[in-house]
């Protein structure tokens, strides 16, 4: 039986973007049958920690499963990076899609969500993701990263997913191996592109949200020609980016960020890459590009997840 994942109330509200104010509870008020505040439980979810031989790192894996028995072909599966931050939203969206899909689409099969995070209370482990999500470029001396001390471990991290995590999931849940999607944002989007271009048969659909194309003097563009014709025929790509990711906010804080945003060209780079891959005369890859109006680099992650689930489940 799947046990409920427990997560802090404040974290859920923050992740879902709820604009709420926590009111003080009078001493005389009764809160629940026991009178105690409790953590939120997400039914239909579970989590476990898994140590990787490939990276020598421990990961926290969050899983959301549909109700009912798996069909003979198995459930589609969506692997989501930055799992500590993304999982509550991805779970809620997937289960909402399950309810709507079952009412409106005959034969609809809901997805399993597998979110990959780290064993910590915070939303992001900057050091771990900085290493895990970035490609193994020959020269890592000028990547433009201002936080992570180690980088270039993407192939080891991918080996963890394919050789250790996937078998662990498939031993417990019947998975449709022909309907696997990888979803990442920022460095996670960079990782999704790296996997697609270099080992694209690992998944059938890829979502690169606000991908860090700027990393290491746009090294990912050097990997793009490695996309195989066979992968291009059988794979789909969605690239999203917030419309404000190239615009500095007003005020002194914006002034200090303007040069960086101009150099990174988040919007232009994402749009150009989508057009380039989709229009490749040798072996074009079916690619969608979506500009998320009114979203900056941080807020774009959440509407990206909604579009990612729709994209993963589309015929």
Calculate the average pLDDT of the chain. Answer: 89
pLDDT at 253: 60
pLDDT at 176: 98
Domain residue limits, the chain: 5-10+41-313
186, 210, 212, 269: which one is catalytic? 186
98, 131, 245, 295: which one is catalytic? 245
Give me 227's structure tokens: 């996309």
Annotated catalytic residue 148 = no
Report residue 31's pLDDT band, with 50, 70 and 90 as the boundaries. Answer: low
Percent of the chain past pLDDT 90, that is, above it, reads: 75
Q: Which CATH class is domain 5-10+41-313?
A: alpha beta
Q: Which residue has the tokens 């399993």?
A: 112
Report residue 84's pLDDT band, with 50, 70 and 90 as the boundaries. Answer: very high
Res. 10: pLDDT tops 60: no
pLDDT tens string 204-254: 999 999 999 999 999 999 999 999 999 999 999 999 999 999 987 776 666
Percent of the chain past pLDDT 70, that is, above it, reads: 87
91, 185, 194, 297: which one is catalytic? 297
pLDDT tens string 142-194: 999 989 999 999 999 999 999 999 999 999 999 999 999 999 999 999 999 99
The closest alpha carbon to 46, from 77, 2, 8, belongs to 2
Annotated catalytic residue 297 = yes
């Amino acid at each position: 039986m799947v046990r409920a994942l427990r997560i802090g109330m404040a974290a859920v509200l923050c992740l879902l973007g709820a604009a709420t104010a926590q009111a003080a509870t009078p001493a005389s008020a009764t809160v629940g049958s026991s009178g105690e505040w409790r953590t939120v439980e997400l039914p239909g979810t579970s989590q476990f920690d898994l140590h990787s031989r490939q990276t020598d790192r421990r990961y926290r894996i969050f899983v959301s499963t549909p109700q009912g028995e798996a069909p003979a072909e198995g459930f589609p599966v969506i692997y989501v990076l930055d799992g500590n931050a993304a999982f509550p939203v991805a779970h809620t969206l997937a289960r909402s899609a399950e309810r709507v899909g079952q009412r409106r689409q005959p034969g609809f099969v809901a997805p399993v969500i597998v979110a990959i995070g780290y064993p910590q209370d915070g939303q992001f482990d900057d050091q771990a993701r900085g290493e895990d999500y970035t490609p193994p470029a020959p020269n890592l001396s000028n990547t433009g990263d201002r936080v992570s001390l180690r980088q270039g471990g993407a192939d080891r991290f991918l080996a963890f997913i394919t050789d250790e995590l996937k078998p662990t999931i498939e031993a417990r849940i019947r998975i449709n191996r022909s309907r696997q999607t990888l979803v990442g944002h920022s460095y996670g989007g960079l990782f999704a592109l790296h996997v697609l271009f270099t080992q694209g048969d690992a998944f059938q659909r890829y979502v690169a949200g606000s991908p860090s194309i700027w990393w290491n003097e746009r090294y990912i563009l050097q990997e793009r020609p490695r996309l195989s014709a066979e992968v291009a025929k059988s794979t789909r790509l969605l690239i999203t980016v917030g419309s404000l990711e190239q615009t500095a906010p007003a005020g002194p804080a914006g002034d200090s960020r303007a040069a960086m945003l101009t150099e990174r060209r988040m919007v232009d780079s994402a749009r150009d890459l989508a057009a380039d891959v989709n229009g490749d005369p040798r072996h074009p890859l079916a690619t969608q590009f979506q500009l998320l109006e009114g979203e900056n680099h941080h807020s774009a992650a959440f509407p990206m997840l909604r579009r990612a689930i729709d994209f993963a489940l589309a015929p």
